[in-house]
């Protein structure tokens, strides 16, 4: 234990790496942003190397930072699993759902009122995770990627298409039927390129050359990316079913044209499979049914 860095430094780094900003990390830890910055600086001094490359905006993790994050995900994941089991046995019916942060923010949270009304005797706990993080323990796990079998059920559709806010299109004298990618800012997510479509892979999939001079703006989470699109900062890629409420409300406009069809998607499964308690299977089936409407 004497060889380990301070726990406060590790938790500050872990929060900043997952949340993407010091401000979000400070809110999670209930401390000030300068306190988070100091803790990370002390951790870097203890380790003898930087964990973040601060020459980029937003900052990016160094290879040492990524190595440490992977180790912490495993350790904290085991702690979370033990705590969840203890709480569940103490509190009765508690169901933990883990899911990618974008799915939580844009699909699951808008459904929570109906979900809680359907299962009034169950306490529902939501854990979000960013792309690239190890899967966290939960009674129900929703993940993004390719099908793996083992009792998983696919959620939502297979289409991937571009969308932008009406404000953004108006400023560039474009609309959903007439637009030019070469004069647009393409919003993308660096950490998800091995799983999610980024712009180069999307253009390849639809058989259209990617503009050489297109401006690209990178984010560390899909939630940040979508919020940037809603704020009129560029055009984003939408997965069928995830951002429907923004499209239906007119906050985002689908750009008419080719759509990529991907075998990747969101998949859901219960940790204990068909042997899971009835209230866990009930919530899983409810999510599946809602996602297919």
φ/ψ of residue 253, rounded to 5: -120, 130
In this structure, are residues 33 and 22 in contact, taking their beta carbons and an 8 Å threshold? Answer: yes
pLDDT the model gives residue 136:
60
**Which band of pLDDT confidence, cut at 50, 70 and 90, is reported for residue 2?**
low
Q: Name the residue among 77, 67, 66, 71 with its Cα closest to residue 136.
A: 77
What is the pLDDT, as a whole number, of residue 194?
55
146 versus 86: the higher-pLDDT residue is 146
Q: What is the dihedral of CA 103, 105, 108, 112, to 10 degrees?
A: 170
Give me the mean pLDDT over the 240-266 stretch.
Answer: 88
113-170: per-residue pLDDT in tens? 999 999 988 888 888 876 555 556 688 998 887 777 678 888 987 788 999 999 999 9
pLDDT band at 192 (very low <50, low <70, confident <90, very high): low
d(CA 235, CA 199): 10
Residue 252: per-residue pLDDT: 95
d(CA 267, CA 102): 14
Query: pLDDT band at residue 187, thresholds of 50, 70 and 90?
Result: very high
Please give the structure tokens belonging to residue 21: 């900003």
SS3 of residue 186 by DSSP: strand
Per-residue burial over 250-286, b if 16 or more Cβ lie within 10 Å, else e, is eebbebeeebbebeebbbbbbeeeeebeebbbebbee
Query: What H or E segment, with its residue span, contains residue 46?
Result: helix 33-47
Q: In whole angstroms, what separates CA 187 from the centre of its chain? A: 15
Residue 92 has pLDDT above 70, yes or no: no
């Amino acid at each position: 234990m004497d060889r380990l860095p301070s726990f406060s430094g590790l938790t500050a780094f872990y929060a900043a790496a997952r949340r993407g900003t010091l401000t979000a990390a400070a809110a999670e830890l209930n401390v000030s942003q300068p306190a988070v910055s100091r803790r990370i600086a002390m951790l870097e001094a203890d380790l003898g190397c930087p964990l973040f490359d601060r020459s980029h905006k937003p900052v990016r993790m160094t290879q040492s930072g990524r190595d440490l994050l992977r180790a912490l995900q495993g350790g904290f994941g085991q702690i979370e699993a033990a705590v969840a089991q203890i709480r569940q046995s103490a509190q009765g019916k508690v169901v933990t759902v883990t899911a990618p942060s974008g799915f939580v923010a844009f699909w699951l949270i808008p459904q929570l009122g109906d979900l809680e009304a359907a299962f009034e005797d169950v306490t529902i706990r939501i854990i979000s995770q960013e792309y690239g993080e190890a899967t966290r323990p939960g009674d129900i796990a929703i993940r993004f990627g390719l099908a793996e079998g083992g009792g998983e059920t696919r959620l939502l559709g297979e289409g991937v298409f571009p969308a932008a806010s009406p404000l953004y299109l108006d400023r560039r004298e474009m609309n959903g039927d007439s637009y030019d990618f070469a004069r647009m800012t393409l919003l993308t997510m660096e950490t998800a390129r091995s799983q999610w479509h980024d712009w180069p892979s999307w253009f390849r999939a639809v058989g259209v050359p990617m503009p050489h001079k297109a401006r690209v703006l990178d984010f560390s989470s899909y939630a940040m990316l979508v919020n940037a699109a809603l704020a009129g900062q560029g055009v984003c890629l939408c997965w069928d079913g995830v951002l429907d409420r923004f499209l239906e409300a007119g906050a985002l406009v689908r750009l008419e044209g080719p759509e990529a069809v991907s075998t990747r998607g969101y998949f859901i499964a219960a940790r204990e499979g068909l042997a899971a308690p009835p209230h866990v299977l009930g919530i899983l089936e409810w999510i599946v049914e809602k996602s297919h409407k």
